[in-house]
Amino acid sequence: MKHLFPFLGGLVTFMVVSTIFYMGIMPYPTSSCVVPEDQMNMGAMLLGNVLVVSLAVYLVNLGRGFSAANGARHGAVAGLTANGFLNIFVYAFFTCDGGHIFPLEEAIIDVVANVVFMAATGAVIGILYKRNAAKSAA
């Protein structure tokens, strides 16, 4: 239970914030090599979200300074490393129709956005860990 509520709170935060961004602000990639939105594998997308939020939970717990600020810092690091690796690797390694799957500018926007999403996620995780620590100390 110690890790469950911070994980669930972080997952909900990440999914809400990223859904707002990707469904309402950032246009869907137009490359012919990107799966159309209605054909996305939502199970795989959910698993990816679970994995990145799990990394944030691990880092926030490892850092121990349970607060929104520390959680945001650790969440941002998780977002930068995980999403930065993913976007830069895909951009550099995979091609489509003689070019990159998506432009470098889209990769950079995605990395920056995910640093912000994960900072918010980490802040919620830090707050929930602090709340749990205060409850168990009482």
Report the C-alpha gap between 78 and 82 in whole angstroms: 6
Q: Which two tokens stand for residue 69?
A: 């600020």
Helical (H) or strand (E) element with 32: none
Report the C-alpha gap between 56 and 125 in whole angstroms: 8
Q: Which two tokens stand for residue 38?
A: 């209605």
Please give the model's pTM, rounded to 2 decimal places.
Answer: 0.89
Task: Please report the DSSP string for 38-51 in residue order.
Answer: GG--HHHHHHHHHH
Sign of the CA dihedral running 129, 43, 28, 25: negative
Provide the pLDDT confidence category of residue 137 given band limits of 50, 70 and 90: low
What's residue 138's pLDDT?
57
What's residue 65's pLDDT?
86
Report the C-alpha gap between 110 and 107 in whole angstroms: 5
What's residue 74's pLDDT?
97
Beta-bridge mates of residue 95: 100
What's residue 98's pLDDT?
82
For 31-76, what is each residue's pLDDT tens digit?
778 888 889 999 999 999 999 999 999 999 999 889 999 999 999 9
8 Å CB contact between 3 and 56: no
Q: Which two tokens stand for residue 70?
A: 């520390």
For 79-116, what is each residue's pLDDT tens digit?
999 999 999 999 998 888 888 888 888 889 999 999 99
Residue 51, number of CB atoms within 10 A of its CB: 10
What's residue 95's pLDDT?
86
CA 137 to chain centroid, in Å, comes to 31
